[in-house]
Structure 1
């Protein structure tokens, strides 16, 4: 489990290990503790890392069989997806779940097939620069959203609790939609591990 952040109150609605009792705790420690409570035999290696060029090398030195990407920042997400593609590691990536409300609009497919997702569009544009146009499985929503990524950030929208990355808009998300994205990702990983189409 890789994350550099700590649990914040704004995470509680969408991350199962984020609780009032874990606010301020390292996310990877909170996740490892939760997994251990569910299955003590499961070994989890928590890595408190911000995904960047250096840390990606550290992550891939562990030779992962599969990568599940739930990064919500563009640069680290693109870096991870690029590295997975270039290293031949299967990756299952979550696109934007924020501002969505239709659970029946969630889809699984190649990143090249995703539509109506501003995040996926920006990722595709970045990856095309490296001639990566397909080969990344993602979960996305076909529900249209109306959000301008160029709008000015107001003080009430600024994310807190991070010391890496840039100041970003905090976009609202429904716990039902983020849970569906996560469960669909988990299902795709299970199918891959079991060799099921």
Structure 2
């Protein structure tokens, strides 16, 4: 990583902070609306070792809110595109892609690098809970996105220990399913705004298609990145 890239960051965090970020290992699950922006923040801050996990490919419908979705990347694997984007910013970054679904079978391998931080930006709640449970069991510091869809108010976005979150329906289910776990290492980003009431459409697989603005997922993603960065710097 060139000294020039670090110049403005170094003025804030000093040489030691730059070193901490360069040496940090982060696992990022999900490279979509929230995860793409989280990746952007982590890479530009100078995080040196990142594993990105996503099985999906980009579609045209992603282009309204996903920073990695362009006319050139539609149809391509998200994790692969994420690595290319990261290397275009920092050519010497140690970044690897795992083109797998986050599942009970794959979670052990996803976390086997012994990361300092897990950034969770997946939207399947059952797998989100399993991922967070395993992170807790391994004593990995986790930063998790709750529901960013169906929101329009940037001022309602909040950061809290997961058990202190409120209003958000995704957070409510996550809290319920994590009861009995030591959740002290999980911080979440969520919204106090009640989800916008709009008709819900279904895709070809029967999954709900949720409306989303371009701005709110970006705020969620950059907030996740900032929380992870501050933790790595010892400024939490």
TM-score range, shorter chain: 0.7 to 0.9
4+ runs deviating over 2 angstroms: 130-135
Q: CA deviation at 1:17?
A: 1.1
Q: CA offsets per residue over residues 90-137 of structure 1, 9 Å max, x none?
A: 010010011110000001111111111011111111111x43455410
Contact kept, 8 Å, 1:49 with 1:55, in 2: the verdict is: yes
Q: Which residue of 1 aligns with 2:104?
A: 53
Q: CA offsets per residue over residues 64-93 of structure 1, 9 Å max, x none?
A: 111100001111111111111111000100
| Larger displacement relative to structure 2 (134-143 or 88-97) | 134-143
Q: Which residue of 1 aligns with 2:214?
A: 175
Aligned residue-pair number: 185
Flag the structure with higher strand content: 2
* Structure 1: runs of 5 or more not aligned: 161-165
TM score, norm. by length of structure 2: 0.74
Q: How does 1:1-197 map to 2 (within 5 A)?
A: 1-128=52-179, 130-132=180-182, 134-145=184-195, 154=201, 157-158=202-203, 167-197=206-236
Q: CA deviation at 1:180?
A: 0.5
Partner SS state of residue 188, structure 1: helix
RMSD: 1.8
TM score, norm. by length of structure 1: 0.88
Contact kept, 8 Å, 2:133 with 2:181, in 1: the verdict is: no
* Structure 2: runs of 5 or more not aligned: 1-51
